[in-house]
Chain A
């Protein structure tokens, strides 16, 4: 008896998520690096803020931003670049031959990536809070969860879209991901309130879901002073993030179909070491 289309695709999601979930726990030394490395940057920025006598909530801003870098790096290196790596290792053609939707494979990557990145980001944040003695407010936990979920769904939708755009890349993939690291940390306000970049720059950067997500999380964790540095109201940010969730899902499907077709006609889907 053949499986239904839905069951087959759910299995594909589980199958693609599985190596990421298992892999996240298989090599403890990688877990150490994934947690410790962001902490080093966080520590440097915390001490910089201390050097310039910043208000103490900025230490919390840096820890939050440092934890969220894990998600952006995961988007760049484990979502956007993933189909490129799969091409280089010879798996991509197997994915394309499998009798499942490509979207299920991307969704599996997203689910698995979200799981292991959440563990790392949570650990980075917890250690940062303990080491630097930061206190955060949890006065509106439901909104906190809603903002975080909306940010992650939109962000991983964006990652799925980027994965298909990267499909035809050779070494550009590595360099492009490198290029999209610091500039995005800058325009999304990972380590300072995005509002200080000016309205239009912040508005443009809001296409990247993490910009609004971070801004809203700062307001929720610091209700007393967060609004002073806020770009938009939390409710408006939640609405925009919800729109981005739908938009990126649609765009990822459209771009995947287009790039796959383009890759087949140009014969670049199995080309390695470009």
Chain B
């Protein structure tokens, strides 16, 4: 176990260096802040064009917080998968990592951990920007901390686990990893009630939404972070009939299910990649 923890720590340190040491700390901090804030401001201006005086509304807060939390889905999912692609095709070090006496799972999770840490800073800054500059309806006094923390941990675990499956698939594909990643994240963006309630979608799409764990994660996170907004929107969210225990149960069961599925997919892809000699395969990225 100590060896695995050492692998995790060193992989996280390597990930941090790869993320940040291409520039000086000031530029890196600027880069880390500007990108998420700009992405959020696109939605803010879309909203303001239609409702010029309307940021202090439940609808705006729903959209803003959902978009901030979605950064975890996009960045962490992408980060986990990108480890395989980057190490294999760009730095050509995947082979060395493979033959080292370490657990590859802990290596990937270490690399993902630093992605979660960096994304957390972006999410936190975006939410603070929303609260102080745009009257987003989040109040420290009304936050349900147990629900928020448990949902966050479960959701991040589920996203990392999904990333593991996608990383396995990227072993076998030529430059498809990014497209598959963005496609999966994009489906979540449209169907999981990220920037609008799922009731806006056509009925057939709402049925798909209710099969996606991210839909439940978004709802649970919002109930923890902005319970007033969820109460105000009522049945508009399409999830009002579900209590918090049900949301937690869905999250726990889906995380366990994805754990088995993802490890299975990863092991299968790993086996095929070894048999076909794709561990050190390059496709001129």
Contacts and interface: CB of A to CB of B under 8 A. Distances in A.
B34 A183 contact: yes
A27 B175 CA distance: 10
A253 B1 CA distance: 58
Interface stretch (B35-43, B158-166, B215-223): B35-43
Contact of B179 (A30, A47, A53, A229): A30
Nearest to B176: A29
Contact of A89 (B35, B201, B284): B284
Interface in B133-157: none
A185 interface: yes
A58 B47 CA distance: 11
Contact of A171 (B22, B41, B48): B22
B87 interface: no
23 contacts: A33-B179, A33-B183, A36-B183, A37-B182, A47-B201, A48-B196, A51-B196, A51-B197, A52-B59, A54-B49, A54-B50, A172-B22, A172-B23, A175-B31, A181-B35, A182-B36, A182-B38, A191-B42, A191-B46, A196-B48, A196-B49, A229-B49, A273-B90
Nearest to A197: B45
B91 interface: yes
Contacts of B34: 179, 183
A216 B91 CA distance: 44
Contact of A182 (B35, B47, B48): B35
Contacts of A112: none
Given A49-B46, A54-B50, A37 B179 contact: yes
A261 interface: no
Interface of A: 27, 29-30, 33, 36-37, 40-41, 43-45, 47-54, 58, 88-89, 170-172, 175, 178-179, 181-183, 185-186, 190-193, 196-197, 229, 273-274
Contact of B190 (A44, A196, A197): A44
A190 B54 CA distance: 21
Interface residues of B, number: 40
A50 B175 CA distance: 35
B275 interface: no
Nearest to A169: B22
Contacts of B36: 182
A88 B189 CA distance: 33
Contacts of A170: 22
B47 to A, nearest CB: 6
A69 B176 CA distance: 20
A171 B49 CA distance: 37
B63 interface: yes
B173 to A, nearest CB: 9
Nearest to A36: B183
